[in-house]
A = this chain, B = another copy of it.
Amino acid sequence: MFNEKMHRLGSNRSVIRELFEFGKQLAAKEGADKVYDFSLGNPSVPAPAIVKESIQKQIDMPKSTVLHGYSSAQGDPDVRKAVAAHIEKCHNVLVSPDLIYLTVGAAAALCITLKALKEDGDNFLCFAPFFPEYTVFTEATGAALRVVPMKDDCKMNLQAAAKLIDENTKGVIINSPNNPSGAVYSEEEIKALCALLGDKEKEYGHPIFLISDEPYREIVYDGVFVPYLMNYYDDVVVCYSYSKSLSLPGERIGYIAVSPKARQAQELYYAVCGAGRALGYVCAPHLFQRILLDCVDAPADVAAYDKNRKLLYSSLTEIGFECIKPQGAFYLMMKTPEPDANAFSDRAKNFGLLLVPGDTFGAPGFVRISYCVSYDMIVRSLPAFKALFATYEK
């Protein structure tokens, strides 16, 4: 009667969504102040003031038929120029506005890129821990996603990757700063990955694309350096979103940038345009395209996240938990004191703590803690973490 696979995707709630719903019920029963929800990745920092100013400016202009009208499918030319100029300024890479395609957020960017690349029999790789929707997006194109097992320090497991790449590997997705680990891959790791892919490209005689999913690019701490992949490798497609840097996740605005050095870059870009068309993406929301003219260079406000990160990391390690110190994004991975992260997450619920079991991210034995929450909630949650830890000491 209808597609079974789609039905399964729509009826099986994600673990994260389950936790979120549980939290709502708990809050209704026990009071909202008794629930410490660390489950979601919804930015807690408001959009910078320039976003509102820019929306105001746009809606005060006389021609609403232009503002709210269709843009070209690949996006407003002026906006694509502004995005290209920003990339050049920040990363010292010449990208062409004509190789930029504005998207309805990073999820759309990934789906379009995978659909544009995928041929019969193709597979894609990603590194655990990883954002679980990669599986959904890849399989929707008919391709398989191969997950490179994680290393305990969340660095890239290149030895395992080398074994998983074969002649049908079309691309490798990387996500740095990483959701869920908060890791940022070092320049050394990136160089090693690019060397590996370069060798494999030669061996198999076709490009293996590096697909960089980077919505957290600007959310980094302690001045850590995030290598820009186009500077290290030719066959690169960047998938970006303003969801986190401008705190606009609900407005769905992002882009795909094809590296001008990618083999047949122009033809690949056409395939991107075609995939966007086939998936029903007529254009990215036009008002939010236009505000990028004012906001592309707006700095992300990371101070609040950094404050949360410091408090959480130091408090949890002090309590006795083992944590991976995040360098970016707004997630922290904590090792669970028992091997089964699901059991640990269930036990945490008794203390009002909503922590996502790592299994869904390819990180068994860990929970993900989203700290895009209020500082106050973290402070109030610490006794609960302490009490939870104590149950493992008996």
Binding site for B on A (CB under 8 A): 1-11, 40, 42-47, 51-52, 55-56, 59, 64-65, 67-71, 104-105, 107-112, 115-119, 133, 136-137, 139-140, 206-207, 247-252, 263-264, 267-288
Given A56-B59, A108-B282, A287-B287, 5 more pairs with CB closer than 8 A? A9-B274, A10-B271, A70-B249, A108-B281, A252-B283
- Chain B residues with Cβ below 8 Å from A110 are 280
Contact between chains at A250 and B107 (CB < 8 Å): no
Contact between chains at B52 and A65 (CB < 8 Å): no
- Chain B residues with Cβ below 8 Å from A68 are 47, 51, 247-251
CB distance from A267 to the nearest CB of B (A): 6
Given the interface pairs A105-B282, A250-B70, the reply to whether A55 lies near B55 with Cβ below 8 Å is yes
- Chain B residues with Cβ below 8 Å from A109 are 280
Contact between chains at B42 and A136 (CB < 8 Å): no
Contact between chains at B108 and A9 (CB < 8 Å): no
Q: Would you list 13 pairs from A and B whose C-beta atoms are within 8 A, ordered by A residue? A: A1-B263, A1-B268, A2-B268, A2-B271, A40-B70, A45-B65, A47-B64, A47-B65, A55-B55, A68-B247, A105-B280, A107-B280, A136-B277
CB distance from A274 to the nearest CB of B (A): 3
- Chain B residues with Cβ below 8 Å from A286 are 250-251
Contact between chains at A282 and B65 (CB < 8 Å): no
Contact between chains at B105 and A10 (CB < 8 Å): no
Contact between chains at B275 and A3 (CB < 8 Å): yes
Question: Which listed residue (B43, B118, B133, B274) contacts A69, Cβ 8 A?
Answer: B43
CB distance from A76 to the nearest CB of B (A): 9
Contact between chains at A11 and B206 (CB < 8 Å): no
Contact between chains at B46 and A112 (CB < 8 Å): no
Q: In the complex, what distance in Å separates the CA atom of A9 from the CA atom of B249?
A: 29
Contact between chains at B116 and A250 (CB < 8 Å): no
> Which of A268, A269, A280 has most B Cβ within 10 Å?
A280
- Chain B residues with Cβ below 8 Å from A280 are 104-105, 107-112, 137, 279
Closest to A41 in B: B70
Contact between chains at B6 and A278 (CB < 8 Å): yes
CB distance from A253 to the nearest CB of B (A): 8
Question: Which listed residue (B65, B251, B282) contacts A247, Cβ 8 A?
Answer: B65
Nearest first, the 5 closest Cβ-Cβ pairs linking A and B are A250-B286, A10-B274, A9-B274, A111-B280, A10-B273
Q: In the complex, what distance in Å separates the CA atom of A47 from the CA atom of B59?
A: 11
Question: Which listed residue (B6, B111, B271) contacts A3, Cβ 8 A?
Answer: B271
- Chain B residues with Cβ below 8 Å from A71 are 250
> Which of A55, A71, A282 has most B Cβ within 10 Å?
A282
